[in-house]
Amino acid sequence: MSNDISDKDKEDWKNFILGKEKLPNKDNNTKLKSHFETRLIDLHGYTLEQANKRIEEFIKKSYIENVRKLTVVTGKGLHSQNEKNPYVSKDLSILKYSVPEFILNNKSLKKMILQIEEAKIEDGGSGAFYIYLKKVK
């Protein structure tokens, strides 16, 4: 391999330095970072009926305001008193299971939602989930 730099390479380098074109920083990929507003709601202490009403209002308001990501904290159901009642489903009355089920069965809410997924551990892990909303048209 030759250490000589061709006149063409020298000219190309000179044009690049003097030009306005810049190379993108591959270590600063902003497409991978989320720059949209996130909102949080904590449903600890709510009854099932209260939680469903509150989450419906929260999603609709956030959608109208073009919020794109919601963090919903439901808790893990560890302190739920429903195990004492033989007529109540052990899992379905726990907000962790029932709130996502309510959302997925609500046709008007489903039209606003892109995706629902479990939250990262720092946001509550299995006691929370994310809702990604569509853009308002």
Annotated domain spans of the chain: 27-133
Residue range 81-128, pLDDT digits in tens? 555 544 444 444 578 888 999 999 999 999 999 999 999 988 888 889
Higher pLDDT, 123 or 1: 123
pLDDT at 12: 82
Give me the CATH topology for the region 27-133.
Ribosomal Protein S8; Chain: A, domain 1 (3.30.1370)
Predicted confidence at residue 11, as pLDDT, reads 87
pTM over 0.75: no
Give me the amino acid identity at 36: F
The larger pLDDT score, comparing residue 68 to residue 1, is at 68
Q: Which residues pair with 132 in a beta bridge?
A: 69, 115
Q: Which residues of 55-84 are buried (b: 16+ CB within 10 A; e: fewer)?
A: beebbeebbeeebbbbbbbbbebeebebee
Residue pLDDT, tens place only, 21-75: 666 665 655 444 456 789 999 998 888 899 999 999 999 999 999 999 999 999 8
pLDDT of 20: 72
Q: pLDDT value at position 122?
A: 86
